[in-house]
Structure 1
Amino acid sequence: MSRFKVTFVYSVLNTFVKKDIKILKNLGVSLSQIKSPPNKDIFNFLRNRFKELYKSILFIPKSQLVICWFCDYHALIPLILSRLFKKRFVVIVGGYDAISYKKLNYGVFQKKNIRSKIASIIYHSASEIWPVHKSLIDGCKNSKKALNIDSGIKSFLKNLKTEIKEVPTGYDFSFWKSKNKRRNKNTILTVANIDNYQTFKRKGLPQFIDLAKKLNNFSFTIVGLSKKIILEIDKPKNLTLIEKLNSNQLVKLYSNNYYYYQGSIIEGLPNVLCEAMLCECIPIGNSVFGISDAIGNTGFIFKGFKEIDKVKDFLESKIVLNGKNARERIKTKYPLSKRVYRFNNLLSETKL
């Protein structure tokens, strides 16, 4: 496979992007990367487009395959070059690229503008579309009912004929494992990269803080906050706020907490939830998108924030759940080996 060349396109080097890069390199692929961070100011926006054009001309003619994380501006020029040079183009859908939520001004389809038109062109022209969860294909009924969030690629593009394959992210259960046999039952954690109030609300953190205020005998922790957000939060004494941590630090923190909370109103398949479950945290989550599929019967699922008091009752109850069941569920449903298998198949199906 060492002769196989792939151009890999992404906007931000997130954990799940890093994992896919590692998978492809381990499969012996010669990988060329196009990183194009989001920028709103016109100068940097145009500079990114020129950079994408230059690197696409440099890399794509020599590649057999182009893979792009998320369907947005950064995917268009690599797509055009892949079509021009008759290369296979796969777009991975993670969440916001299959969403319209006007209240938070979130999602590529929340306005009928050039951005949504570009997304439509990319989806119609791609060789394959790989959403991380099925709700990003047909939509999430629970989020529509609770908050009028429109979702699902097929909801926006009724006549889409591009092949769509649900390909969940995968997790290394040999790394994500509990380091602590004993935990304080009155501990609950949530993790998210938060640097703006839009994301703060999207991840359900206002309700998490309200829970902390109602449960004084519990220790609550939020990880992944920017310094600016930390300074703005009116936090109760039983709430700890922490900036971003690396994977080794997260393993220790997951292992020290009994419960993990995923209160997002919009998601794909949450990485941090799956990591926490592998570390034997009891999961608590909102019944939207991939959250309830990940949790199954191993924790507590609530139907929107109108049921947040049920979360409080659950935490105060004497119900005993086994974190090992949470771990086994993620090991079975979303092992890293399944994603490796899908990439390997993709390479095998693509002509050298």
Structure 2
Amino acid sequence: MRPSPPPAAIAYVYPRRFHFVSKDIEALSREVDVREHRFSTGAAWHLPWDLLRQLVFLLRCKWRGIRVVIAHFAGHHTVLPVLLGFRTHIIIAGSDACSFPGIDYGSFRKPLMRAAMAFSMRRATRLLPVHRSLERFENRFSDYGQREQGYAHFVRGPIAPSVAIPYGFDQRHWAAGHAPRRARSVACVATGAAHGNAVHFRKGVDLLIEAARRLPDHTFTIIGVADIRSYTDLPSNVRMMGACTPQEVHEVLACHTLYAQPSVMEGFPNALCEAMLAGCLPVVSDITSMPEIIGASGVVVHERSAEALVAAIVRSTTMEPAEQERSRALAMAQVLPFTLERRIAALLHLVRTT
């Protein structure tokens, strides 16, 4: 007996239309009719208005015969879909699997959000973590949060079944190309960073700046900074860039030797995978998916310190050229299985069969 076809339309809800959210919606829209809804309009006091807006959206979906909701992240925006009886699939992406109060990061640190997430995760049809480690993992990298992390740790009692579906990438877009690479050059994407904010510490921008001071013969490029002027007294070998298009990010990554992601927390970092496809050697922190993503192609940093990061960077940038090329080829090969087509097929299979 053939499986039933996917529904003619689905609802896709999210708090903000991040790059990875846009990729999902655009790819799914080529297969089914996607009705999207952005939940968050700003400050926390807007929550009642946000819920009312979403209620109207969901009731209209029901009137049109839509019965399936895909939600990116768990949160306030996943409560109404499960309450109204939609078959709700929640993509767990990272912030909804942790609590790092030391840097004001992680949805489980907020009592009201935590309650909303627990309610949704117990009643959803499926939880779709972007990596299996988000269910339960140990934080050994920093002291900004407790050791035991993961949504199954924070939500007591039974929860919905989980199926890990990693993000996917357009390998043609991110291919390395033939641009010359600057020797001893380090790149990092830290979208939304400003001096002292949560992104600044979560992405390890403070460590990268200190590493730049200790490595004056290296150059460092930090992409996606929200407030460049907040960074004063930067070393001369640090370049801060504001928001960039995916094409601009690719052009920057393709001419760098190394991509550093010394993050306190990540889910399945898109920028890391895109940098590896663009031919950058990876240096990552020992948290969730990242050591598995890079495999033997790069260096894992096991403690949150400038000393450890500097040692990892130097280890990568001082390799012999032939060894760098082998590692670069291995880095690209590590990401090749994670195609956007495979991700969308997996999402549609679940939507069709559950």
Secondary structure at the residue paired with 1:92? Answer: strand
Which residue does 1:345 correspond to in 2?
349
Q: Deviations over 1:275-319 (max 9, x none)?
A: 000011111111111111111111111102242242244155334
Q: For structure 1, which runs of at least 5 residues remain unmatched after alignment?
A: none
Q: Among 122, 128, 135, which residue is 1:137 paired with?
A: 135
Alignment check: 8 A CA contact 2:253 2:280 kept? yes
Which residue does 2:71 correspond to in 1?
68
1:218 is the counterpart of 2:223: no
Q: Deviations over 1:137-171 (max 9, x none)?
A: 11234347885354211111242241101111111
Which residue does 1:311 correspond to in 2?
312
Secondary structure at the residue paired with 1:193? Answer: coil
* 1:188-337 alignment, distance < 5 Å: 188-196=186-194, 197-226=197-226, 228-306=227-305, 307-315=308-316, 317-319=318-320, 320-322=323-325, 323-332=328-337, 334-337=338-341
Which protein has greater RCO, CA pairs closer than 8 Å, 6+ apart? Answer: 2
Change (3 A) 1:185 1:47: same
Q: How far apart, in 1, do the equivalents of 2:128 and 2:314 lie? A: 38
Secondary structure at the residue paired with 1:289? Answer: coil
Q: For structure 2, which runs of at least 5 residues remain unmatched after alignment?
A: none
Q: Among 33, 46, 51, which residue is 2:48 paired with?
A: 46
Q: How far apart, in 2, do the equivalents of 1:97 and 1:60 lie? A: 27
Q: How far apart, in 2, do the equivalents of 1:164 and 1:216 lie? A: 46
Q: How far apart, in 2, do the equivalents of 1:273 and 1:107 lie? A: 20
1:120 is the counterpart of 2:118: yes
RMSD of equivalent CA atoms? 2.0
Paired positions, count: 341
Query: 16-25 or 158-167: which moved more?
Result: 158-167
Secondary structure at the residue paired with 2:235? Answer: coil
Q: How far apart, in 2, do the equivalents of 1:102 and 1:248 lie? A: 34
Q: Which amino acid aligns with 1:91?
A: I
Alignment check: 8 A CA contact 1:144 1:150 kept? no
Q: Among 172, 175, 187, which residue is 2:173 paired with?
A: 175
Change (3 A) 1:186 1:296: same
Alignment check: 8 A CA contact 2:128 2:164 kept? yes
Alignment check: 8 A CA contact 1:194 1:229 kept? no
Q: Which amino acid aligns with 2:279?
A: E
TM-score normalized with structure 2 length: 0.90
Q: Which amino acid aligns with 2:261?
A: Q
Query: 59-68 or 241-250: which moved more?
Result: 59-68
Secondary structure at the residue paired with 2:332? Answer: helix
Q: How far apart, in 2, do the equivalents of 1:201 and 1:326 lie? A: 26
Q: Which amino acid aligns with 1:120?
A: A
Which residue does 1:25 correspond to in 2?
29
Q: How far apart, in 2, do the equivalents of 1:346 and 1:66 lie? A: 12
Q: Deviations over 1:34-75 (max 9, x none)?
A: 111253252x33221211111111113421311000111122
Which residue does 2:81 correspond to in 1?
78
Alignment check: 8 A CA contact 1:230 1:241 kept? no
1:34 is the counterpart of 2:37: yes
